Amino acid sequence: MNDNAIISPQSGALLVAHPLMDDPNFVRTVILLIAHDDAEGSMGVVLNRPDLNSHHDSDSPLQRWIHSAVPPYCDFVGGPVEESGFICLRRDPSTTSGVTSVDIMSDVPTSTEPHRVFRGYSGWGPHQLAGEVKQQGWFVVPSFPDDAYDNDPATLWSRVIARQLGDIKKLSQFPRDPSMN
């Protein structure tokens, strides 16, 4: 698909799963690329997988960050890598990704800084992401400043697709189960 919305993988860009992606970790996901170097690998977090059933010690620093984050007030499944670790991102327009990570054990959350907590992350080895993009597993599109803090993650995939130009935009209405169409 040739589209003027597609860009090269880079920090701050979004990876949007092709509607036919069959990896259960990434079906209809939107990933914010936090770091990308084709020769060294890539890292990002899934923006649209809230874990509404997660429970943490109510007095922990982690819980304070979750409860002061933008809604929904839960951690998000950032990806299948290091699922026991947490990353907290907050807006930082001075960075190429538009976000910066926060040390949840020492920093204190404030309600004035939009932030979100992710459990685990998504990662790719050297040249792996470029290969997956070339095989059209992912669309790489520009991000908007509020994508990482979207309060309706269930519809983020279709809304990001719908705001693109050209043929990609048509995929926003692609059914979850094409056999039911």
At 179 the pLDDT is 62
Strands 75-77, 41-46: pairing is unpaired
Length of the chain: 181
Q: Is residue 7 part of a domain?
A: no
Return the pLDDT at 181.
56
Establish if 37 belongs to a structural domain: yes
In a domain, 6, yes or no: no
The model's pTM is 0.90
- Evaluate whether 75 touches 67 at the Cβ level (below 8 Å): no
Reduced to 3 states (helix: H, G, I; strand: E, B; else coil), residue 68 is helix
pLDDT score of 143: 94
> What's the CATH number where 105 sits?
3.40.1740.10
What sign has the CA pseudo-torsion 94, 100, 118, 82? positive
User: Does residue 101 fall inside a structural domain?
Assistant: yes
pLDDT of 2 reads 44
What domain range includes position 96? 14-180
In a domain, 5, yes or no: no
In a domain, 4, yes or no: no
Does the residue 8 lie in any domain? no
How far is CA 50 from each of CA 13, 102, 132, rounded to the nearest angstrom?
20, 19, 25
DSSP letters of 150-162? -S-GGGHHHHHHH
Residues whose CB is less than 8 angstroms from the CB of residue 103 and which lie 6 or more positions away in sequence, other chains included: none
With a cut of 70, list the residues of the chain below it in pLDDT.
1-6, 111, 175-181
| CA-closest candidate to residue 34, choices 112, 114, 147 | 147
Structural element, H or E, at residue 14:
strand 14-17
Q: Which residues touch 165 (CB under 8 Å, ≥6 apart)?
A: 3, 4, 5
Residue 92 within any structural domain of the chain: yes
Domain count of the chain? 1
